[in-house]
Structure 1
Amino acid sequence: MNHLIISFITADRPGIVKVLSDLLSTHKANWQKSSLHHMSGVFAGVVEIAVPPENSAALSKELAALADFKMQIEHVQSNDIAPETLLVLELTANDRAGIVQEISSTIHHHGGNLLKLVSKQESAPHSGHKLFKAKVTISADKHNIDTMIDALENLADDLMVDISR
């Protein structure tokens, strides 16, 4: 199987996922992983696809030709290597400019690899000020995890880190 990673953005409207999944089905492709989101009136996503080699070129051509989609298609090698240690962190702090940079730099400085970041901004209960909430998945050497978490917790007095291992 050939593997494709497609990323797209289009004006939000009903039926976007159906258009993509119908096209994949036509080419006997398998939708493997995805992250799809409605943001500020647009629909954006990243999808990993496995497709038979004989259908890969035609599928890529038809994806690129979809009307009203800004589409990027990458042909990649499947990578099924298991990371060292997977860690899921849920972070909450008062929202401020630069918070993602602080978090990503701290993870990187302690040898971690940020695999997934899902964040949102929401109003704090009672006060109504803006909170930054994120769920991050990282891989790291098990010997560096405790110092990495300590460093994250010390970024700010208001940063809370909940850990799932």
Structure 2
Amino acid sequence: MNNLVISFVSPDRPGLVDTLSNIVKKHQGNWQASSLHHLSNTFAGVIEISVSEENTSAIVNEIKQIENLEAVSTITQASAEKLQPSIVLELTANDRAGIIQEISSTVHQQGGNLLKLVTKQESAAHSGQELFKAKATITVSGDQATDNLIDALENLADDLMVDISR
């Protein structure tokens, strides 16, 4: 079996996920995981499919034939290594240019590995000011590393709030 990771972007339209899932089913693939998003009238996503070697190219070719859909596929190996423990951080700050770079650089410098990052902008309830909100899943190597990472993130700016869940 192959693990197939496909990333795609397309103008948003009803039925796109149905089309993708029908192709996977038609070729006896198993939809393992996905992250799908509507962004600025565009639908983008990443899906992981488990599929036999014989059917891998058929799935890829048929997905690439979907009208107005751009897709990139990669065959990957299932990971046998155990991941380090992860933490989930919820970050809130006044929105500004460069905030993602600051956060990702701090995570990297503190020895963390960013596994997942979901961000959004929203207006503050009373002031209407644009807020940056993020939910990040990060692997770290122990409680001290977690504390150091949180301290480093909180020191990026006075307005950056970090909430943690394990």
Q: TM-score range by the shorter chain?
A: over 0.9
- The whole-number CA distance in structure 2 between the counterparts of 1:103 and 1:120 is 14
Q: Counterpart of 1:152 in structure 2: which amino acid?
A: L
- The whole-number CA distance in structure 2 between the counterparts of 1:67 and 1:57 is 18
Structure 1 unaligned residues grouped into runs of 5+:
none
Aligned residues: 165
Determine if contact 1:37/1:43 at 8 Å carries over to the other structure. Answer: yes
Q: Counterpart of 1:35 in structure 2: which amino acid?
A: S
Determine if contact 1:31/1:49 at 8 Å carries over to the other structure. Answer: yes
Q: Which residue of 2 aligns with 1:151?
A: 152
TM-superposed CA distance for 1:54, in Å, is 1.6
Q: Counterpart of 1:54 in structure 2: which amino acid?
A: E
Q: Which residue of 2 aligns with 1:137?
A: 137
Q: Which residue of 2 aligns with 1:22?
A: 22
Q: Which residue of 1 aligns with 2:164?
A: 163
- The whole-number CA distance in structure 2 between the counterparts of 1:148 and 1:42 is 34
Q: Counterpart of 1:160 in structure 2: which amino acid?
A: M
Determine if contact 1:6/1:48 at 8 Å carries over to the other structure. Answer: yes
Alignment deviations for residues 47-67 of structure 1 (CA, whole Å, 9 cap, x no partner) = 111101221121111112222
Alignment deviations for residues 27-52 of structure 1 (CA, whole Å, 9 cap, x no partner) = 11111111101111110001111101
Identity %: 58
Q: Which residue of 2 aligns with 1:95?
A: 95
Determine if contact 1:64/1:73 at 8 Å carries over to the other structure. Answer: no
Q: Which runs of 4+ in 1 moved over 2 A?
A: none
Q: Counterpart of 2:121 in structure 1: which amino acid?
A: Q
- The whole-number CA distance in structure 1 between the counterparts of 2:145 and 2:23 is 44
TM-superposed CA distance for 1:82, in Å, is 2.6
Q: Which residue of 2 aligns with 1:118?
A: 118
Q: Which residue of 2 aligns with 1:34?
A: 34
Q: Does 2:63 match 1:63?
A: yes
Q: Counterpart of 1:106 in structure 2: which amino acid?
A: T
TM-superposed CA distance for 1:80, in Å, is 4.3
- The whole-number CA distance in structure 1 between the counterparts of 2:153 and 2:36 is 28
Determine if contact 1:33/1:47 at 8 Å carries over to the other structure. Answer: yes
Q: Counterpart of 1:119 in structure 2: which amino acid?
A: T
- The whole-number CA distance in structure 2 between the counterparts of 1:24 and 1:158 is 45
Q: Counterpart of 2:21 in structure 1: which amino acid?
A: S
